[in-house]
Homo-oligomer: A and B are copies of this chain.
Amino acid sequence: MSQMNMIQAIRSAHDIMLERDPSVVALGQDIGYFGGVFRCTEGLQQKYGEHRVLDAPIAEGGIIGTAIGLAVNGLRPVAEIQFADYIYPGFDQVVSELSRLRYRSGGDFFAPVVIRTPCGGGIRGGQTHSQSPEGIFTHVSGVKTVMVSNPYDAKGLLISAIESDDPVVFFEPKRIYNGPFDGDPDKPAVSWAAHPKGEVPDDYYTVPLDKAEIVEAGEDLTIITYGTIVHVAQAAARRAGVDAEIIDVRTLMPLDVETLRDSVCKTGRCLVAHEATRFCGYGAELVATVQKECFWHLEAPISRVTGWDTPYPHAFEWQYFPVQQRLVDGIRKVMEAG
Contact = CB atoms under 8 A, between A and B. Distances in A.
B300 A138 contact: no
Given A280-B139, A280-B282, A300 B309 contact: no
A285 B280 CA distance: 5
A303 interface: yes
Q: How many copies does the complex hold?
A: 2
A277 B285 CA distance: 12
A304 B287 CA distance: 13
A135 B284 CA distance: 11
Nearest first, the 8 A-B pairs at minimum CB distance are A88-B92, A295-B301, A287-B288, A139-B280, A284-B284, A284-B288, A136-B136, A284-B285
Q: Which of A88, A287, A304, A310 has the most CB of B within 10 A?
A: A88
A309 B141 contact: yes
Given A89-B92, A100-B127, A300 B295 contact: yes
Interface string A174-190: 00000000000000000
B280 A310 contact: no
Contact of A285 (B127, B279, B301): B279
A273 B282 CA distance: 18
Contacts of A61: 89
Interface residues of A, number: 44
A163 interface: no
Interface string A131-144: 00001101111100
B302 A292 contact: yes
Contacts of A103: 127, 310-311
Nearest to A134: B280
Contact of A279 (B138, B301, B309): B138
A77 interface: no
Interface string A269-293: 0000000010111111101100110
Contact of A280 (B95, B138, B298): B138
B311 A135 contact: no
A265 to B, nearest CB: 13
A288 B302 contact: yes
A239 interface: no
A15 interface: no
